[in-house]
Structure 1
Amino acid sequence: MSTPTVDAPGAHLPEHPDFLWHNPEPKRSYDVVIVGGGGHGLATAHYLVKNHGITNVAVIEKGWLAGGNMARNTTLIRSNYLWDESAGIYEHSLKLWEGLEEDLGYPILFSQRGVLNLAHTEQDVRDSVRRVEANKLNGIDAEWLDPDEVAKICPIVNVSSDIRYPVQGATYQPRAGIAKHDYVAWGFARRADEAGVDLIQDCEVTGFVTDGDRVTGVRTTKGDIGCGTVALCAAGHTSVLLDMLGVPAPLQSHPLQALVSELLEPVHPTIVMSNAVHVYVSQAHKGELVMGAGVDTYNGYGQRGAFHIIERQMAAAVELFPVFARAHLLRSWAGVVDVTPDASPIVGSTPYANVFVNCGWGTGGFKATPGLGWCMADTVANQRPHPLIAPFGLDRFVTGALVDEHGAAAVAH
C-alpha cells in the first residue's frame, strides 16, 4: 500500500486507488497519544473525533497499522457472555457493529450468520442453558437448541450419537457473525486520518517521561512526543509498556494459532464452536474455512503456526464436520493474546493520572473493537472510566471483584 507522507494531517487526499491514509512524522506534542495501531487504538481515535471532537491525536504503532492481532484473528463477533459486565460491553459493541459500515462509509463485510456453541456433556448442557437464560435477562438474543435443531441450522455438523463427544444441544445467537478484519481497520484508519488524527507507523515506544503522577511525554524511535493523555492499546505487548512505567499487571502473553483451508464452495452457513472437541469453524467470504485453536500453554510472542496444532485442529474439525475430511490446509499463523487470571480485560485507570490502559482481552479482542473504542474514547475525554468498562479496572485484582469468564472463554473465541 502506498502511503506518501504529506505535511498537513487531514489535508485533501489525492485520487489514488491505493491511498487510504497519510503517513506523517510526529508533531512535538498531542492532546492524546494512543499507543497501538490495531483495531482498538484506531477505534479509540475514531470515536475521540466523532463523539468528543478531539482531533489533536496521534496513534503510534511500532510496525504497520493493524499488523498485529487485528490481522491475525478469526473475526468472530458475538455478545453471548455469561456475566452482566461482559454482556454489557460486548452487546454494546455488537450494536455498533450492526451500523459500523454506514458509520465508517467503508465496506467491512459484516455477516450476521449466527453462532452455535455446542454442548457435549450434561455439565455442558447445564452451563449452556444457564448462559442462555442470563443472556435473555440482559436483552441479548439467545436460544437453546436440541441436536435436531442444531442440524437444521448447520446440516454439516455431525449430530450422530455414536461419536466420541455426541452433540447434546447448543446455544445459538442469531445476531452473531463475522467481518473482514482488514477492512474494519482500514475503515477506522481512513476516517481518523480524514479528521486530522496522525497515524504514525514504524514508531516504537522505548520509554516514558514522567513528572510525579503524570506522564508528560512518550519516548519513541522517532523522538520524544509530548502528551496530555496516554491510552495504552497494545494488546499482548501492554505488559512491556506497563513495566516501563513500573505498573505491575497480572498479564501473560501467549501465542494463539489459527489456520485456513483452500477455497471451497459455500457449505458452512454459520459459526460453530466446541469446547470439548476444542475447535471453532466458520467459512470466510472468499470460501476458505477459518479454524481456531486454543491458546498455546507457553508464554511468547511468536506469530507462526506449528504442526502439532495443525494436526490437532484438523482432526477436531473433521470430527465435527466429516464433510471436510478431504479439504486441504492453505496456511496457518498465530497472534499474541494477553490473558488475565479471570479471562476478562483490564480497562481503565492506572496509578498515573493521565494514563489509561486497555489490555487483557485474551481471545475476544476483535469482537469488542467498536464498543471498546467508544468507551475508551469516553474515558479519555472525561478522564474517568466509562460505566461499561468500570468493572474491568486493574484494582479488581486487589479488591477481589473478579469477572470470571472462563466458562465463556474456554475455547478461543
Structure 2
Amino acid sequence: MPLALLRCAFRRRPLRRLMPPTPTRKKHYDVVIIGGGGHGLACAYYLAKNHGIRNVAVLDKSWLAGGNTARNTTIIRSNYLTAEAVRFYGESMRLYQNLSSELDINLLYSPRGHLTLAHTDAACRTARWRANMNRHLGEDSRFVDRRELAELCPQLNMSETVRYPIQGALYHPPGAIARHDAVAWGYAIRAAEMGVSVFSHTEVTEVLQAGGKAVGVRLADGSEIGAGTVMQAVAGQSSQVAAMAGFKVPITSIPLQAMVSQPLAPFLDPIIVSGSLHVYISQSARGELVMGGSVDPRPLHRSRSTLHFKESLAGDILQLFPFLGGVRLLRQWAGVADMTADFSPVMGKTPLDNYYIDAGWGTWGFKATPVCGVTMAETVATGQPPALITPYAMSRFDNLSLVGEKGAAAVGH
C-alpha cells in the first residue's frame, strides 16, 4: 500500500471542495445560459476567460452535465467530409490537446487512432475522398488497405466469408477519447472560480421578451431572472426550449443508444467504426468496451433503451470481433439526439434578438465542446458569429445552403 494512502487512513483531512460554493442568485445577469452541459459550461468559461464577461448564470434543470454530456461515448475526431466541418472539428481537436493543462484537471485524453471501416467499393471511394479532403485542409487522415489495417488492429476479423468483408479503412491517427464528465466539470470549476454563477436543479419554463428581444427567463418556482443576452445549449430538448422563445428549429429528436461491457484487459487501442454495420467500439481507460451505433429508427423524446438494439448491436460487434462472444454486458443507456436534415449543427443567431442557440448536435456534440465554447462565447460577446460557425447559421435552411455531413457523421460519433 502506498505510504501516502496510509497517511490518509490515519489522518483526518477535510474534503477538498472542487466547485466554489453556490452563490446567491441575482435578479439580473449580463448573460444567462440555459443548459449546464459541456457546451453551456464551456461557453461560460470562455466568456469569462476570453472576453471578461463574468456576470454570467448557467442554469440546468437537473445535475450539471447530466444530459447528453453524461450519455455520450467520448470519441474525438476531425475526419469529416465537408471543408466546413473539417476546419471546425480540427480546431476543436487542437483545443482538446491542451485542455487538461488549461483546466488543471485530468481529462484522460487518450489519442488512439480512428478507423472507419470500408466494406464495399463505394465505401472505399468515400474513404479516399474524405482522406483527400482531410489532408488538403491539414488534418491527418489516409486510406489503408487490408494488409495495413490488419497490422493496425490485428484483433479485427478480416475473413472474406462474412456478410460484410472488410476491404480497407479511413485511418485518422489523431482520433482520441476523453472523460466526458471531467470535461464538463473542468469547465464548470474554472468558470465558477472566475465569478460565473452555476445553478443546478434550476429549470427554465419561459423566455421573457420585450420589444422583440429576449430580456430574461422565468423559472419553475415562478421567479424571474433578467438578462442582457440569453443562450440555449440543451441537447435533446432544443425544440422545446426554442418554442419558449417563440420560434421553431429544423430539428428531429431521436433516441441514441449505447452500452458497455465488463472491464477487460487492454487489447483494443484504436477506435473502430463501421458505417455498413452501423456500429462503433472503443476500449475505455477502465477496460470497458464502449459500443454504439446509429440513432433509433423513429423520433421520440425519451431516453429509454431497448432489447432489440442490444441484440442487433451485439450481433454486428461479433462479426468484427468473434472472440467477444462470452463477454458480459455491464450496462446500457440512451440519450436524445437532436438531428438536423444535413447532419450539421445549428449555431448563432435566432429570430429573437439577444437570443442565441447552440443545438442540432445529433451524435457529434462531445467532440465539439471546446470549439463550441470558444465560438459561441465570441458570438454572445460581440453579437456576430465568427467565420468558423457562419456555415451553421439557422438561416441556411431558408436559403438551402446546407452542409451535408450524413456520410461522415451518421454513425461515426
Is the Cα–Cα contact under 8 Å of residues 42 and 370 in structure 2 kept in the other structure? yes
Post-superposition offset of 1:411: 1.2
Q: CA 1:412–1:219 in 2, change beyond 3 Å: closer, same or farther?
A: farther
1:2-13 residue pairs with structure 2 within 5 A?
A: none
C-alpha RMSD over aligned residues: 1.2
Q: Distance in 1 between matches of 2:295 and 2:21?
A: 36
Q: Any conservation in 2 of the 1:304–1:332 contact (CA below 8 Å)?
A: no
Q: Is the 8 A contact 1:280 1:293 kept in 2?
A: yes
Q: How far off is 1:97 after superposition? A: 0.3
Tell me by how many angstroms 1:387 deviates.
1.0
Q: SS at 2:408's partner residue?
A: coil
- Who is 1:357 aligned against? 357
Give the distance between the partners of 1:298 and 1:71, measured in 2 at CA: 22
Amino acid at match of 1:151: A
1:162-185 CA-to-partner distances (Å, cap 9, x unmatched) read 111111100011111100111111
SS at match of 1:242: helix
State TM-score, norm by structure 2: 0.95
Distance between the aligned counterparts of 2:275 and 2:351, measured in 1?
37
* Whole-Å separation in 2 of the counterparts to 1:17 and 1:286: 24
Residue matched to 1:57: 56
Alpha-carbon distance between aligned partners in 1 of 2:91 and 2:117, rounded to the nearest angstrom: 24
**CA distance in structure 2 between the aligned counterparts of 1:412 and 1:269, rounded to whole angstroms:** 17
Structure 2 distance, partners of 1:386, 1:23, is: 32
Q: Given the alignment of the two structures, is residue 409 of structure 1 paired with residue 409 of structure 2, yes or no? A: yes
CA spacing shift, 1:266–1:348, aligned 2, 3 Å:
same
Please tell me the residue identity of whatever aligns with 1:371.
V
Q: Distance in 2 between matches of 1:272 and 1:53?
A: 41
How far off is 1:21 after superposition?
A: 3.9
The equivalent residue for 2:257 is 257
Preserved contact between residue 20 and residue 192 of structure 2 (Cα < 8 Å): yes
Corresponding position: 1:207 with 2:206: yes
The CA deviation string for residues 150-201 of structure 1, in whole angstroms up to 9 with x for no partner, is 1111111111111111111000111111001111111111101111111111
Q: Structure 1 186/15 Cα, relative in aligned 2: closer, same or farther at 3 Å?
A: farther
1:397 alignment counterpart: 397
Q: Is the 8 A contact 1:25 1:200 kept in 2?
A: no
Distance 2:21 2:188 in 1: 10
Per-residue CA deviation, residues 189-218 of structure 1 (Å, 9 max, x unaligned), is 110111111111111111121112211111
Q: In structure 2, the residue corresponding to 1:325 is in which secondary structure?
A: helix
1:34-49 pair list within 5 angstroms: 34-49=33-48
Give the aligned residue type for 2:280: Y
Which residue of structure 1 lines up, in the alignment, with residue 23 of structure 2?
Answer: 24
Distance in 2, matches of 1:149 and 1:230, equals 50
Q: Do 1:346 and 1:359's aligned partners in 2 also have CA atoms closer than 8 Å? A: yes
Q: Structure 2 vs 1, CA of residues 412 and 172 (structure 1 numbering), >3 Å: closer, same or farther?
A: closer
User: Shift in Å at residue 25 of structure 1?
Assistant: 4.2
Deviation at 1:107, TM superposition (A): 0.5
Whether the aligned pair in 1 keeps the contact of 2:32 and 2:216 (CA below 8 Å) is: no
Which residue number in structure 2 is paired with residue 195 of structure 1?
Answer: 194
Provide the residue aligned with 1:303 in structure 2: 303
How far apart are residue 297 of structure 1 and its match?
Answer: 1.8
2:291 corresponds in structure 1 to 291
The equivalent of 2:281 in structure 1 is 281
2:92 matched to which residue of 1? 93
| Counterpart-to-counterpart distance in 1, 2:364 and 2:264 | 27
Q: How many residues align?
A: 400
Q: Take 1:15 and 1:44, find their aligned partners in 2: how far apart are those partners?
A: 32
Q: Which residue of 2 aligns with 1:163?
A: 162
Cα deviation code 1:46-102 (max 9, x no counterpart): 111111111000000010100000000000000011101111111110000000001
8 Å contact from structure 1 (residues 23, 201) kept in 2: no
Contact 2:63–2:201 at 8 Å: present in 1 too?
Answer: yes
Check whether the contact 1:83–1:403 (CA below 8 A) recurs between aligned residues.
Answer: yes
TM-score by length of 1: 0.95
3-state SS of 2:224 partner: strand
Alpha-carbon distance in structure 2 between the residues aligned to 1:132 and 1:290: 25
Q: Which moved more, 1:293-302 or 1:275-284?
A: 293-302
Look up the match of 1:332: 332
In 1, the alpha carbon distance for the partners of 2:31 and 2:251 equals: 25
- Give me the whole-angstrom Cα distance separating, in 2, the residues matched to 1:60 and 1:281: 33
| Match in the other structure for 1:144 | 143
Tell me what 1:245 maps to. 245
Matches within 5 A, 1:105-144: 105-144=104-143
C-alpha distance in 1 between matches for 2:64 and 2:323: 37
Q: Distance in 2 between matches of 1:113 and 1:301?
A: 33
CA contact (8 A) 1:344 1:360 kept: yes
- Secondary structure of the residue aligned to 2:262 is strand
Moved more, 66-75 or 21-30: 21-30
Contact 1:213–1:351 (Cα < 8 Å) also in 2:
no
Alignment partner, residue 9 of structure 1: none
1:18 CA drift (Å): 5.2
Deviating more after overlay: 214-223 vs 366-375: 214-223
Moved over 6 A (4+): none
Q: Percent identity?
A: 47
* Counterpart Cα distance in 1 of 2:402 and 2:229: 27
| Alignment partner, residue 322 of structure 2 | 322
Query: In structure 2, do the counterparts of structure 1 residues 322 and 21 end up closer, same or farther at CA, with 3 Å as the change threshold?
Result: farther
- Secondary structure of 1:234's counterpart equals coil
The C-alpha deviation readout for 1:221-263, integer Å capped at 9, x for no partner, is 2421100111110111111111112212111111100000001
- Deviations, residues 99-121 of structure 1 (Å, cap 9, x unaligned): 00011011100000110000000
Alpha-carbon distance in 2 for matches of 1:357, 1:124:
34
Asked if 2 retains the 8 angstrom alpha-carbon contact of 1:41 and 1:59, the reply is yes
Decide whether the 8 Å contact of 1:89 with 1:372 is kept in 2: no
